[in-house]
Amino acid sequence: MEIRDVPCPFCGCLCDDISVRLDDNRILGVENCCTLGNAKFLSKGRLQHPIMRKNGKWVEVSYEEAIDETARILSDAVRPLLYGWSGTVGEAQVVGVHLGEEIGALIDSTTSVCHNPSILAIQEVGHPGCTLGQVKNRADLVIYWGCNPIEAHPRHMSRYTTYADGYFIDNTVTDRKVIVVDIRRSEGAKVADEFIQIKPGGDYLVLSALRAMVRGRDDVVPDSVAGVKKEQLQRVASLMQKAKFGAVFFGLGITMSRGKYKNVRNAIELVSELNRKTKFTISAMRGHFNVYGFNEVLTWMAGYPFAVDFSRGIAFYNPGETTVIDLLERKEPDACLVIASDPGAHFPKSTIEHMAAIPTVQIDPCVNATTALCQVQIPVAITGIEAAGTAYRMDGVPIRMKKIIETNFPTDQEILERIVTRIREMKRDG
């Protein structure tokens, strides 16, 4: 049996044209997918039962016992942290936000450690963006800045930009110019018409130079800016202004390098400036397939895209204070629930040590680096393969993830709902 048009639960591209071949409730093969998505569809090996540490040893326990223990941990906590969320669907995230509200938790997502600076910049200067199809159909200039689509978003170029069929583009290969900006010659640089190599930490300067040029002030730009020759910048500024529709995509190369959100702000202001001359848009290359969905859900429910502290009985947002890394660095949380992410693999050592020192529970189908920090792990259905629900693509387009495999594993949403119910029961029973 073949199921078509399956959205891929890997990256923020959320390609929804995957064909999956099934036999007897098992995936045999996947078509149209990139290697990253492929690996996810075909991955084996998962945790079969909930596990709990007892006397220093992992033991298998029932769902009931694991949920009971989780509810007890969260009920007893004074400063609970609910973290992760980007690898699950909106329907589960909603339950998480309600849970956070009910127990006065701090809730944050993986956004906090990736595009957090992009959001701060947007909150200062806004975001001239568009859906990906607008780029596909119209853009004659595409700029990848501080990101590596070929490795991190392998189908971005073929589905949405360089190699995609476009309504107003006669020949997508010759009629679209591509500029790649990076600190090293990445794979993407090879297909670029223009590759700008910036010295590490120099993005802000280069963006400022381009802004000056777009404003007609070439005279203030020195001969070389962060290792980039003025002539090249002039060429690029001219390409930008001559484009009918220019689209900038940026990644962690500018959000997480020196200058952080100021870089993004500068890039946005360059794009806003360019709109006085022609059409330009800018978009973040979001990582997890539903990282943007959590930002959306938390925003409509609480007013902010990430890092919301419910401990005061209202939604309090102050990045730098209410962001997960800062909170853990201050060793504030006394309990932690991790879901649909793997902080154990990415977080700084000191924060991981604190997570290991407090009762931490993980909801995840697989054993991962975070498992080592946990007291309890509850395995669940794999979202987007064994569980359906809503995800938001990197450009904000909502897509319904499919359930293509039957499973006995409960979904994230079901587990969270059972935890909420159990916490209420405990509260009622004192």
Partner 1 sequence: MAEILLKNAYVIDPISGINGELMDIAISGSRIVEEASQKAEVIDCQGYLTLPGGIDSHTHTSGTKVNFGRYMSPEDMRAGRTARRGPMHITSGYSVPTTYGNSYRYSALGYTTLIEGAMAPLEARHTHEEFKFTPLQDSFANTLFDGNWGMLRALEEGDITRAAAIIAWTLTAVKGFAIKLTNPGGTEAWGFGKNISCINEKIPTFDLTPADIIKGAIRANEMLHLPHSVHLHCNNLGTPGNYTCTIGTFDLVPDINDKRQSLYATHVQFHSYGGSGWGDFCSKSEPVARKVDFSPQIVIDMGQVMFGRTTTMTADGPMEFNLYRLHHDKWSNHDVELETGSGIIPVNYRKKNLVNSIMWAIGLELALLVKNPWQCLLTTDNPNGAPFVKYPEIIALLMSKQYRDAEFATIHPDTEKRVPLPALDRELNWHEIAVMTRAGQARALGIIDLGKGYLMPGAEADIAIYPIKTDEIDPSAEYEKVIAGFSRTEYTIKRGRVVSRRGDAIIDGENTTYWVKPKVPAVYDMQHDPAFIELFERYYTVRMSNYPVQEEYLHRNYCIETETDL
**Site residues (vs partner 1, CB under 8 A):** 4-5, 7, 16-17, 90, 94, 98, 101, 119, 122-134, 136-138, 159-160, 165-168, 244-245, 272, 275-276, 278-279, 281, 295-296, 299-305, 310, 313-315, 317, 388, 390, 392, 396-400
Which CB sits closer to partner 1, 159 or 418?
Answer: 159
| Smallest distance from partner 1 to CB 233, Å | 23
Give, for 51, the enclosing helix (H) or strand (E): strand 51-54
How far apart are alpha carbons 400 and 93 in whole angstroms? 14
Question: Would you give the DSSP letter of residue 373?
Answer: G
Given a contact cutoff of 8 angstroms between Cβ atoms, the answer to whether 126 and 390 are in contact is no
Tell me phi and psi for residue 231, to 5 degrees: -60, -40
Largest Cα–Cα separation, the chain: 74
What CA–CA distances, in Å, run from 341 to 195, 323, 338, 345, 365?
34, 16, 7, 9, 11
| Smallest distance from partner 1 to CB 11, Å | 14
How far apart are alpha carbons 267 and 254 in whole angstroms? 9
Tell me phi and psi for residue 249, to 5 degrees: -120, 130
Given a contact cutoff of 8 angstroms between Cβ atoms, the answer to whether 354 and 331 are in contact is yes
| Smallest distance from partner 1 to CB 352, Å | 29
Please tell me whether residue 356 adopts helix, strand or coil conformation: helix
Which CB sits closer to partner 1, 77 or 226?
Answer: 77
| Smallest distance from partner 1 to CB 263, Å | 17
Q: 258: Cβ–Cβ under 8 A, 6 or more apart, which residues? A: 200, 201, 203, 204
Which CB sits closer to partner 1, 32 or 375?
Answer: 32
Which CB sits closer to partner 1, 98 or 346?
Answer: 98
Length reported for the chain: 430
| Smallest distance from partner 1 to CB 70, Å | 22
- CA nearest neighbour of 263 among 221, 205, 332, 219: 205
Which CB sits closer to partner 1, 29 or 396?
Answer: 396
199 exposed, middle or buried (CB, 10 Å; 0-12, 13-18, 19+)?
A: middle
Given a contact cutoff of 8 angstroms between Cβ atoms, the answer to whether 369 and 344 are in contact is yes
Given a contact cutoff of 8 angstroms between Cβ atoms, the answer to whether 52 and 374 are in contact is no
Which CB sits closer to partner 1, 283 or 377?
Answer: 283
Tell me phi and psi for residue 259, to 5 degrees: 100, -30
| Smallest distance from partner 1 to CB 169, Å | 11
Which CB sits closer to partner 1, 327 or 399?
Answer: 399
Which CB sits closer to partner 1, 35 or 299?
Answer: 299
| Smallest distance from partner 1 to CB 7, Å | 7
| Smallest distance from partner 1 to CB 301, Å | 6
